[in-house]
């Protein structure tokens, strides 16, 4: 028993370190998408990466000991989440393909703010003055990044915002139905829908794929799968309040990878806006750690990032 107790601080320290590794893996995943986006349609990239990631998820599902069928218990919510995830995957892949990495992340960092906002009608969450103010401040940060009127807004900016909305929608729905639905149900239907929808579009956008690029699409699938497993491991070793803020480390990786491989240097507006959004997100995480503030803790309860090969949000002890 004494050995187990003495090992707890080590496990807790390992949690955020594993999370940092997970988000570094996700950032590499996004950089590969950006590289491929210069030559291929987002639908083609998404189809092949999803198709190659599917066997990895199936192998993991075969080890799922939870009894039950693959029939959703909440058909409407499951359908809404599936549509949201597929749309979000296409949007985020497109955003990474056409926008600077750091700018895309700065917009995607609005997801925790939107989760808090959407939890009001979906979860019946009460958001008080503090968290409500943090949402407004964070959205101001997004406007600083976008600078409407001061820069040319593109379809890529709209896609990044849509991806944030879809990710938040999916996360809140999981918080509503996740305790009733099997993990297999939450995972399998979005992946199937993604492959089918992208496969339907593929004939209209297909171009021959170089063998190196085909391997890169497999790398995208593998990185997403590994990152998802690392996220699970991080939440099993440390409190959500410690692991969740690690997602913001992606802005550092985005800056480094963007500079090294794409000649991207974030401008002052992107840096300032990202700082505002991150600060507001961290404040919401801090508020949710207080037992008298949030009943559902929708932000701390979010375990996934919007990527085609992911695992659903759930209890970290699962």
Q: What is the pLDDT of residues 177-191, one digit of tens each?
A: 877 887 778 888 888
> What are the backbone angles phi and psi of residue 39, rounded to the nearest 5°?
-120, -20
Position with higher pLDDT, 39 vs 61:
39
**How much of the chain exceeds pLDDT 70, in percent?**
86
Q: Tell me, yes or no, whether 1 lies in a domain.
A: no
Q: Is residue 312 part of a domain?
A: no
Summarised one tens digit per residue, pLDDT across range 104-162 is: 999 999 998 998 888 888 888 787 788 889 889 999 999 999 877 666 788 999 999 99
- Kindly report, residue by residue over 264-316, the tens digit of the pLDDT: 999 888 999 999 999 998 988 887 777 566 666 777 767 666 666 655 544 43
pLDDT at 73: 85
304, part of any domain: no
- Rounded to an integer, what distance in angstroms lies between the CA atom of residue 88 and that of residue 128? 29
In this predicted structure, the answer to whether residue 2 has a pLDDT above a threshold of 70 is no
Domain assignment present for residue 173? The answer is yes
Mean pLDDT of all residues in the chain? Answer: 84
Q: How many domains does the chain contain in total?
A: 1
Which residue, among 84, 83, 92, 135, has the nearest Cα to 114 in the 3D structure? 135
pLDDT tens-digit series, residues 202-224: 999 999 999 999 999 999 999 98
Tokens of 289: 């750690």
Range of the domain at 196: 13-288
Alpha-carbon distance of 142 to 110, in angstroms, equals 7
- Please report whether residue 53 resides in a domain: yes
């Amino acid at each position: 028993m004494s050995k187990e107790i003495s090992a707890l601080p080590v496990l807790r320290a390992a949690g955020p370190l594993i999370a940092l590794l997970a988000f570094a893996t996700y950032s590499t995943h996004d950089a590969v998408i950006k590289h491929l986006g210069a030559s291929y349609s987002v639908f083609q990239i998404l189809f092949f990466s999803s198709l190659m990631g599917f066997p990895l998820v199936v192998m993991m599902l075969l080890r799922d000991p939870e009894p039950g069928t693959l029939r959703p218990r909440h058909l409407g919510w499951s359908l809404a989440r599936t549509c949201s995830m597929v749309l979000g995957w296409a949007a985020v892949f497109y955003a990474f393909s056409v926008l600077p990495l750091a700018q895309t992340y700065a917009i995607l960092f609005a997801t925790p703010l939107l989760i808090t906002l959407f939890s009001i009608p979906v979860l019946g969450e009460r958001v008080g003055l503090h968290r409500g103010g943090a949402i407004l401040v964070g959205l101001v940060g997004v406007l600083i990044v976008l600078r409407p009127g001061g820069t040319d807004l593109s379809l890529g900016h709209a896609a990044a915002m849509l991806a944030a909305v879809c990710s938040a929608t999916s996360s809140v729905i999981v918080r509503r139905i996740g305790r009733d639905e099997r993990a297999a149900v939450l995972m399998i239907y979005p992946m199937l829908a993604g492959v089918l929808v992208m496969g339907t579009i593929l004939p209209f956008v297909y171009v021959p794929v170089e063998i190196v690029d085909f391997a890169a699409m497999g790398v995208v699938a593998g990185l997403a799968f590994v990152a998802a497993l690392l996220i699970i491991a991080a939440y099993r070793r440390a409190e959500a309040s410690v692991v969740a803020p690690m997602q913001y480390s992606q802005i550092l990786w985005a800056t480094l990878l963007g500079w090294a491989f794409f000649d991207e240097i974030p401008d002052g507006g992107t840096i300032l806006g990202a700082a505002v959004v991150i600060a507001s997100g961290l404040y919401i995480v801090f508020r949710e750690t207080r037992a008298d503030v949030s009943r559902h803790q929708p932000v701390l309860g979010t375990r996934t990032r919007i990527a085609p090969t992911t695992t659903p949000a759930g209890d970290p002890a699962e």
